[in-house]
Amino acid sequence: MCINFLMIGIVQCLFSSFQTAAGTCILPSMFRNSVWHDSTKGDLNFTNSTMSGWQMTAYSQSVSQWECFIDSAYESNGYLIFKSLQKVEFGDVTFTGYMCMQLTKVTDYSYYYYLLYTQQRNAAEERILYSENATSNYSTICNTVSKEPLEQFHMLIKSGYEWEARQYCPTPILGNFDYTYTGSDGNVYCQNSSDQWRVCSDRQTMTFNYTTCNKTIAYSKGGQVWCVGTISSSYTFVMVYNNDSSVDGSTTYRFTCFSISSDGLNASMVPKNCTENQIPTTFAKRHDGQNMGAKLAMTPYLTCPFTSATSKVENVNVGAVVGGILGGVILIVVIVGLYMFCKRSSTVIQISGNEARGSVADDKVDSARNPQIERFRVKEDKMFNLSPRDDLMPTSNHIIQKNHVPNNERNSAKQSVESLSVNDYDEQFSHRVIM
């Protein structure tokens, strides 16, 4: 009997440990207690360990509540694994749903993901494992062989950070276009030659002018969408986010996916996310084979691809740039102002004797060439009360003051000055200037 009690205790302990381990699954920090826009499912509400809003139907029963099941594979593989909180029943069997998302970061506020499992006919073709047996092996839930096709990626954007999630639109769509719209019913619209699909004014934004053709593009009533994610293979698949204040989910949608040809002349579009095997020149198909979405034939009248001279600069803080420029200008003005103030405040210019009068040898040569120069110097020195051959420049802390000069000496000096040529006077007297 003791052995039986011991075995029961061990089983209960293991079961309790499994429940504790499962209960401690915590979502990555960026998802906790936040709302995210899912391109396929709408708004998802996250807590620390649960997700609601990801709705699907399995065995004709609705499921929209999920809990974090395994978080250990996120850091290594990007796997986020959920278990449904709502069971579904079929006959006498009760099933639990298991979902594996493989996430890839685009920005701090946006991700794209794929579901890793085969499509289930009894779950409306969703890629969710439904099992009557509990499993904790993520390699069973995350079947990489059955991963969604490349073009079927889903986008997640954090609510309130839509602007920060913007990306540059891909090269084939960088231009301004005229376009023709063909609906899934085969009707053709927008056949004017002046329809406008513009990207060049803001290469993160597609803008549609509905003046000449009111057929909405990208299911946007306001005519403006932001590029938020791009996947490239044989074609370019770009996801756009509709900036309308509200959408109704029937004629307007929050997300649209374009399949675009490499030359940018053809595109197909569908709401939410692109479909398997979607190509630019034909309609996308529903699971039942019916056409969906629309086709567009485009004629560019301006292209604006990025070149080395127009490299991409993302997330530029315009205020910081302008503030930096203004700050630099103000600093330059202050430095120049201080320099001018200091210059004007100076009362004595310090220059060497040789710079002020030239060398002694030069003086002798000039005197020999023109005796009147020497006479002028003598008269000039007497005017300033200095001997003819004294050092004629003051020291840095000495300002020469002009003394009273008798009239006869002033007249004599004036005559000497008048006897000089203009050039000689300028050359000699310029060395005597005192500020």
Same domain (yes/no): 404, 421? yes
**Which residue, chain included where needed, has tokens 């509905």?**
210
Which range has the worst mean pLDDT, 34-43, 47-56, 419-428? 419-428
List pLDDT tens digits, range 158-172.
Answer: 999 999 999 999 999
Same domain (yes/no): 217, 88? no
> pTM of the entire structure?
0.68
The domain in which residue 329 lies consists of 320-346
Same domain (yes/no): 52, 152? yes
Question: What integer best gives the mean pLDDT of the chain?
Answer: 78
**Which residue, chain included where needed, has tokens 């619209």?**
189
* 269, β-bridge pairs: 258, 294
Same domain (yes/no): 146, 199? no
- Do the Cβ atoms of 194 and 179 come closer than 8 Å? no
Same domain (yes/no): 299, 237? yes
- Note whether residue 15 is domain-resident: no
- What region does 49 belong to: left with phi over 0, alpha with psi -120 to 50, or beta? alpha
Model pLDDT, residue 139? 87
Same domain (yes/no): 170, 40? no
The residue-averaged pLDDT of 129-147 equals: 87
- Note whether residue 400 is domain-resident: yes
The 3-state DSSP class for residue 48 equals coil
DSSP assignments along 354-387, one per residue: HHHH--HHHHHHHHHH-HHHHHHHHHHHHHTT--
Q: Decide if pLDDT at 319 tops 90.
A: no
Question: How many domains does the chain divide into?
Answer: 4
Burial class (CB in 10 A: 0-12, 13-18, 19+), 81: buried
Model pLDDT, residue 326? 61
What are the tokens at 53?
């809003």
Q: Decide if pLDDT at 390 tops 50.
A: no
The residue-averaged pLDDT of 371-392 equals: 44
Model pLDDT, residue 330? 67
